């Protein structure tokens, strides 16, 4: 099993930046795809960005000009750099991992991931 622990959340001013981290343990980076999701209050969880084990990276169109995902395989850590934050970015942010190969069109679906972190809250105000 893979254990995921997110960190870096907090209160951010409108227009500010934040970098979230997701520390993965219990697996090797070459054996799973890892992704960032978020869930605003009262809304469904949505996929933001994902990195496949071969390095193929996808970012949701609505955030790709402001959010950047990266992965440090040496430390088994996934990052999400968020710039120009808006109040609508307020959400709990989760990282997730999965060991099955899936078509990129499925990477932003929560059901495509087996392991989840506990989430970190980001509030933009």
Residue 16: what pLDDT?
A: 98
pLDDT tens, position by position, 18-31: 999 999 988 776 68
At residue 10, does pLDDT exceed 90? yes
3-state secondary structure the chain: CCEEEEECCEEECCCCCEEEEEEEECCCHHHCEEEEEEECCCCCCEEEEEECCCCCEEECCCCCCCEEEEEECCCCEEEEEECCCCHHHCEEEEEEEECCCCCHHHCCCHHHCCEECCCEEEEEC
- Segment 47-77, tens digit of pLDDT: 999 999 889 999 999 999 999 999 998 888 9
The average pLDDT across 12-41 equals: 92
């Amino acid at each position: 099993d893979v254990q995921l622990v997110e960190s870096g959340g907090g209160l951010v001013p409108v227009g500010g930046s934040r970098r979230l981290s997701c520390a993965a343990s219990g697996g090797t980076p070459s054996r799973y795809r890892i992704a960032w999701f978020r869930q605003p209050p009262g809304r469904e969880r949505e996929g933001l960005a994902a990195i496949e084990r071969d390095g193929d990276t996808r970012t949701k169109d609505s955030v790709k000009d402001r959010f950047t995902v990266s992965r440090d395989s040496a430390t088994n850590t996934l990052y999400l750099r968020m710039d120009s934050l808006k109040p609508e970015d307020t959400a709990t942010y989760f990282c997730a991992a999965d060991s099955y190969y899936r078509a990129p069109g499925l990477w932003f679906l929560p059901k495509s991931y087996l392991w989840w972190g506990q989430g970190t809250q980001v509030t933009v105000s």
